Amino acid sequence: MAIIETRDLTKHYFLGKKKTVIGLEKVNLQVNQGEIFGILGPNGSGKTTCLKLLLGILFPTAGEAYIMGKNPHDINMKQHVGFLPENPYYYDYLTGPELLRFYASLFSLETQTTNARIEQLLELVELHNAKKLHLRHYSKGMLERIGLAASLINDPEILILDEPTTGLDPIGCRDTRNLLLQLKQQGKTILLSSHFLSEVERVCDRIAIFHRGNLLALGTLDGLNKQYQATNLEDLFVKTISSFDNQEAAKTGDVT
Protein backbone atom coordinates (compact mmCIF):
# COMPACT_ATOMS: atom_id res chain seq x y z
CA MET A 1 0.00 0.00 0.00
CA ALA A 2 1.34 3.45 -0.92
CA ILE A 3 1.79 5.59 2.15
CA ILE A 4 2.95 8.56 0.07
CA GLU A 5 1.46 9.18 -3.30
CA THR A 6 1.48 11.89 -5.94
CA ARG A 7 -0.79 12.10 -8.96
CA ASP A 8 0.39 14.22 -11.88
CA LEU A 9 1.92 16.56 -9.35
CA THR A 10 2.95 19.74 -11.16
CA LYS A 11 4.52 22.95 -10.00
CA HIS A 12 5.27 25.95 -12.16
CA TYR A 13 6.92 29.02 -10.75
CA PHE A 14 5.67 32.23 -12.27
CA LEU A 15 8.30 34.86 -12.76
CA GLY A 16 6.30 37.75 -14.05
CA LYS A 17 4.89 38.11 -17.52
CA LYS A 18 4.45 34.82 -19.34
CA LYS A 19 7.68 33.55 -17.85
CA THR A 20 7.39 30.31 -16.00
CA VAL A 21 9.95 27.91 -14.68
CA ILE A 22 9.02 24.30 -14.37
CA GLY A 23 9.60 23.06 -10.86
CA LEU A 24 7.89 19.74 -11.28
CA GLU A 25 6.03 18.28 -14.25
CA LYS A 26 3.33 15.63 -13.84
CA VAL A 27 5.08 13.46 -11.34
CA ASN A 28 3.51 10.20 -10.26
CA LEU A 29 5.14 8.55 -7.28
CA GLN A 30 4.21 5.91 -4.78
CA VAL A 31 6.23 5.26 -1.68
CA ASN A 32 5.34 2.07 0.14
CA GLN A 33 5.09 1.62 3.84
CA GLY A 34 8.34 0.49 5.45
CA GLU A 35 10.71 1.25 2.61
CA ILE A 36 13.51 3.70 2.17
CA PHE A 37 12.83 5.69 -0.95
CA GLY A 38 15.46 7.91 -2.51
CA ILE A 39 14.86 10.87 -4.79
CA LEU A 40 17.92 11.51 -6.91
CA GLY A 41 18.77 14.28 -9.25
CA PRO A 42 21.19 17.05 -10.03
CA ASN A 43 20.77 20.44 -8.35
CA GLY A 44 17.58 22.16 -9.43
CA SER A 45 15.94 18.99 -10.64
CA GLY A 46 12.84 19.37 -8.48
CA LYS A 47 13.72 17.16 -5.52
CA THR A 48 13.12 19.81 -2.89
CA THR A 49 10.08 21.13 -4.74
CA CYS A 50 8.56 17.67 -4.61
CA LEU A 51 9.18 17.35 -0.86
CA LYS A 52 7.81 20.84 -0.19
CA LEU A 53 4.67 20.04 -2.14
CA LEU A 54 4.22 16.85 -0.15
CA LEU A 55 4.58 18.79 3.11
CA GLY A 56 2.21 21.60 2.13
CA ILE A 57 4.87 24.33 2.14
CA LEU A 58 4.23 24.93 -1.54
CA PHE A 59 0.93 24.68 -3.37
CA PRO A 60 0.76 22.57 -6.55
CA THR A 61 -0.10 24.16 -9.87
CA ALA A 62 -1.90 20.94 -10.80
CA GLY A 63 -2.20 17.41 -9.53
CA GLU A 64 -2.45 16.02 -6.04
CA ALA A 65 -0.28 14.73 -3.28
CA TYR A 66 -1.25 12.45 -0.42
CA ILE A 67 0.48 11.28 2.71
CA MET A 68 -1.30 8.46 4.52
CA GLY A 69 -4.22 9.19 2.28
CA LYS A 70 -4.51 12.76 3.58
CA ASN A 71 -3.75 15.99 1.76
CA PRO A 72 -0.57 17.88 2.67
CA HIS A 73 -2.41 20.44 4.82
CA ASP A 74 -3.99 17.89 7.13
CA ILE A 75 -2.86 18.67 10.65
CA ASN A 76 -3.50 15.22 12.08
CA MET A 77 -1.39 13.65 9.37
CA LYS A 78 1.55 15.87 10.35
CA GLN A 79 1.48 14.39 13.81
CA HIS A 80 3.05 11.28 12.26
CA VAL A 81 5.58 12.92 9.97
CA GLY A 82 9.14 14.04 10.68
CA PHE A 83 10.96 16.45 8.40
CA LEU A 84 14.57 17.53 8.10
CA PRO A 85 15.06 20.54 5.78
CA GLU A 86 18.19 21.11 3.75
CA ASN A 87 20.96 23.02 5.53
CA PRO A 88 18.87 23.99 8.54
CA TYR A 89 20.02 26.76 10.88
CA TYR A 90 17.49 26.61 13.68
CA TYR A 91 17.20 29.13 16.48
CA ASP A 92 20.63 30.49 17.35
CA TYR A 93 19.88 31.28 20.94
CA LEU A 94 18.41 27.97 22.03
CA THR A 95 20.31 24.98 23.32
CA GLY A 96 19.86 21.54 21.77
CA PRO A 97 17.49 20.26 24.46
CA GLU A 98 15.48 23.50 24.33
CA LEU A 99 15.06 23.17 20.59
CA LEU A 100 13.85 19.59 20.92
CA ARG A 101 11.52 20.55 23.76
CA PHE A 102 10.03 23.36 21.66
CA TYR A 103 9.33 21.02 18.76
CA ALA A 104 7.99 18.37 21.10
CA SER A 105 5.55 20.90 22.51
CA LEU A 106 4.24 21.59 19.01
CA PHE A 107 3.36 17.90 18.77
CA SER A 108 1.62 18.21 22.15
CA LEU A 109 3.77 15.43 23.58
CA GLU A 110 3.56 14.77 27.30
CA THR A 111 6.37 16.10 29.45
CA GLN A 112 7.55 12.66 30.54
CA THR A 113 7.63 11.29 27.02
CA THR A 114 9.38 14.44 25.88
CA ASN A 115 12.11 14.22 28.51
CA ALA A 116 12.74 10.58 27.80
CA ARG A 117 12.86 11.14 24.06
CA ILE A 118 15.18 14.13 24.33
CA GLU A 119 17.69 12.09 26.34
CA GLN A 120 17.40 9.19 23.96
CA LEU A 121 17.77 11.31 20.82
CA LEU A 122 20.69 13.34 22.11
CA GLU A 123 22.39 10.07 22.91
CA LEU A 124 21.56 8.79 19.45
CA VAL A 125 23.04 11.75 17.59
CA GLU A 126 25.89 12.02 20.09
CA LEU A 127 25.11 15.54 21.27
CA HIS A 128 24.52 14.70 24.93
CA ASN A 129 27.81 16.41 25.79
CA ALA A 130 26.72 19.71 24.25
CA LYS A 131 23.51 20.18 26.21
CA LYS A 132 24.30 23.69 27.39
CA LEU A 133 25.71 24.98 24.14
CA HIS A 134 23.64 27.49 22.17
CA LEU A 135 22.99 26.40 18.62
CA ARG A 136 24.90 29.36 17.25
CA HIS A 137 28.10 27.72 18.50
CA TYR A 138 27.30 24.41 16.78
CA SER A 139 29.36 23.18 13.85
CA LYS A 140 27.64 22.35 10.59
CA GLY A 141 27.74 18.63 11.33
CA MET A 142 26.30 19.18 14.80
CA LEU A 143 23.46 21.22 13.33
CA GLU A 144 22.72 18.46 10.87
CA ARG A 145 22.66 15.97 13.74
CA ILE A 146 20.45 18.06 16.01
CA GLY A 147 18.18 18.53 12.98
CA LEU A 148 17.93 14.80 12.58
CA ALA A 149 17.11 14.44 16.25
CA ALA A 150 14.48 17.17 15.91
CA SER A 151 12.86 15.38 13.00
CA LEU A 152 12.55 12.25 15.13
CA ILE A 153 11.14 13.93 18.23
CA ASN A 154 7.58 12.78 17.55
CA ASP A 155 8.63 9.19 16.76
CA PRO A 156 7.25 9.64 13.23
CA GLU A 157 5.80 6.95 11.01
CA ILE A 158 7.12 8.76 7.99
CA LEU A 159 10.46 10.52 7.88
CA ILE A 160 11.17 13.00 5.11
CA LEU A 161 14.78 14.09 4.79
CA ASP A 162 16.07 16.72 2.37
CA GLU A 163 19.77 16.11 1.70
CA PRO A 164 20.40 14.56 5.12
CA THR A 165 24.14 14.06 4.70
CA THR A 166 25.33 17.32 3.12
CA GLY A 167 27.13 18.72 6.13
CA LEU A 168 28.46 15.47 7.52
CA ASP A 169 31.91 13.95 7.50
CA PRO A 170 32.35 10.33 6.36
CA ILE A 171 31.83 8.98 9.87
CA GLY A 172 28.72 11.10 10.29
CA CYS A 173 27.43 9.79 6.99
CA ARG A 174 27.97 6.23 8.08
CA ASP A 175 26.21 6.84 11.37
CA THR A 176 23.27 8.41 9.61
CA ARG A 177 23.11 5.53 7.21
CA ASN A 178 23.05 3.03 10.04
CA LEU A 179 20.40 5.05 11.80
CA LEU A 180 18.19 5.03 8.73
CA LEU A 181 18.50 1.25 8.39
CA GLN A 182 17.71 0.89 12.07
CA LEU A 183 14.60 3.04 11.68
CA LYS A 184 13.54 0.99 8.71
CA GLN A 185 13.74 -2.11 10.85
CA GLN A 186 11.33 -0.42 13.26
CA GLY A 187 8.88 -0.21 10.38
CA LYS A 188 9.29 3.47 9.53
CA THR A 189 8.90 4.79 6.02
CA ILE A 190 11.72 7.05 4.90
CA LEU A 191 11.71 9.41 1.93
CA LEU A 192 15.00 11.14 1.28
CA SER A 193 16.47 13.31 -1.40
CA SER A 194 20.14 13.39 -2.19
CA HIS A 195 22.67 13.95 -4.86
CA PHE A 196 25.22 11.69 -3.18
CA LEU A 197 24.77 8.59 -5.27
CA SER A 198 26.80 6.24 -3.08
CA GLU A 199 24.69 7.15 -0.06
CA VAL A 200 21.51 6.34 -1.87
CA GLU A 201 22.86 3.21 -3.38
CA ARG A 202 23.59 1.73 -0.01
CA VAL A 203 20.35 2.36 1.81
CA CYS A 204 17.48 2.86 -0.60
CA ASP A 205 15.06 0.11 -1.52
CA ARG A 206 13.73 2.06 -4.45
CA ILE A 207 14.81 5.21 -6.18
CA ALA A 208 13.39 7.89 -8.43
CA ILE A 209 15.57 9.98 -10.72
CA PHE A 210 14.47 13.57 -11.29
CA HIS A 211 15.76 15.92 -13.90
CA ARG A 212 14.45 19.35 -14.82
CA GLY A 213 11.27 18.68 -12.94
CA ASN A 214 10.58 15.41 -14.69
CA LEU A 215 10.53 11.96 -13.19
CA LEU A 216 12.83 9.98 -15.48
CA ALA A 217 13.07 6.63 -13.79
CA LEU A 218 11.43 4.87 -10.89
CA GLY A 219 12.07 1.43 -9.43
CA THR A 220 14.51 -0.76 -7.56
CA LEU A 221 18.15 -0.21 -8.31
CA ASP A 222 18.57 -3.67 -9.81
CA GLY A 223 15.46 -3.34 -11.93
CA LEU A 224 16.54 0.04 -13.28
CA ASN A 225 20.05 -1.12 -13.96
CA LYS A 226 18.65 -3.96 -16.03
CA GLN A 227 16.20 -1.72 -17.81
CA TYR A 228 18.81 0.83 -18.81
CA GLN A 229 21.63 -1.65 -19.15
CA ALA A 230 23.68 0.20 -16.58
CA THR A 231 26.43 -1.25 -14.43
CA ASN A 232 25.87 0.82 -11.32
CA LEU A 233 23.91 3.79 -10.04
CA GLU A 234 26.31 6.35 -11.41
CA ASP A 235 26.12 4.82 -14.84
CA LEU A 236 22.35 4.68 -14.60
CA PHE A 237 22.15 8.28 -13.49
CA VAL A 238 24.26 9.56 -16.37
CA LYS A 239 22.42 7.42 -18.92
CA THR A 240 18.93 8.48 -17.96
CA ILE A 241 19.80 12.13 -17.76
CA SER A 242 21.69 12.31 -21.03
CA SER A 243 19.01 10.39 -22.87
CA PHE A 244 16.41 12.87 -21.58
CA ASP A 245 18.54 15.82 -22.61
CA ASN A 246 19.03 14.33 -26.07
CA GLN A 247 15.30 13.83 -26.49
CA GLU A 248 14.62 17.40 -25.44
CA ALA A 249 17.29 18.67 -27.80
CA ALA A 250 15.79 16.68 -30.65
CA LYS A 251 12.37 18.15 -29.88
CA THR A 252 13.51 21.74 -29.98
CA GLY A 253 15.93 21.19 -32.81
CA ASP A 254 18.94 22.06 -30.72
CA VAL A 255 22.08 20.13 -31.43
CA THR A 256 24.75 20.14 -28.81
Residue 132: CB minimum distance to other proteins, A: 13
* Min separation Cβ 166 and other proteins, Å: 13
Distances (CA, A) of 124 to 1, 70, 156, 159: 30, 31, 16, 16
Considering only the stretches 100-108, 115-123, 165-173, 230-238, report the one whose residues sit in contact with other proteins under the rule CB under 8 A: 100-108
Dist. CA 65–CA 83, nearest whole Å: 16
In 3D space, the residue among 248, 229, 224, 216 whose CA is nearest the CA of residue 41 turns out to be 216
Q: How far is the CB of 82 from other proteins (least distance, A)?
A: 8
Determine the angle formed by the axes of helices 111-124 and 140-151, rounding to 10 degrees: 140
Tell me the per-residue interface mask from 6 to 35 with other proteins, x by CB under 8 A, - otherwise. ------------------------------
Question: Nearest Cα to 26, choosing from 41, 12, 44?
Answer: 12
Q: Does 78 contact other proteins by CB under 8 A?
A: yes
Q: Does 59 bind other proteins (CB under 8 A)?
A: yes
Contact region with other proteins (CB under 8 A), list: 88-96, 169-177, 219-227, 236-244: 88-96
- Nearer to other proteins by C-beta: 83 or 237? 83
158-177 binders of other proteins (CB under 8 A): 160
106 near other proteins, rule: CB under 8 A: yes
> Does 216 interact with other proteins (rule: CB under 8 A)?
no
**Cα(60)–Cα(9) distance, integer angstroms:** 7
Q: According to the binding rule CB under 8 A, does residue 81 interact with other proteins? A: yes
Quickly count: other Cβ atoms within 10 Å of residue 111's Cβ: 10
Q: Min. distance of Cβ 81 from other proteins in angstroms?
A: 7
Q: If we measure between CA atoms, which residue out of 173, 231, 188, 233 comes closest to residue 209?
A: 233
Told to check if 83 binds other proteins by CB under 8 A, we report yes
For residues 122 and 133, give the distance between their C-alpha atoms in angstroms, rounded to a whole number. 13
Binders of other proteins in range 184-203 (CB under 8 A) = none
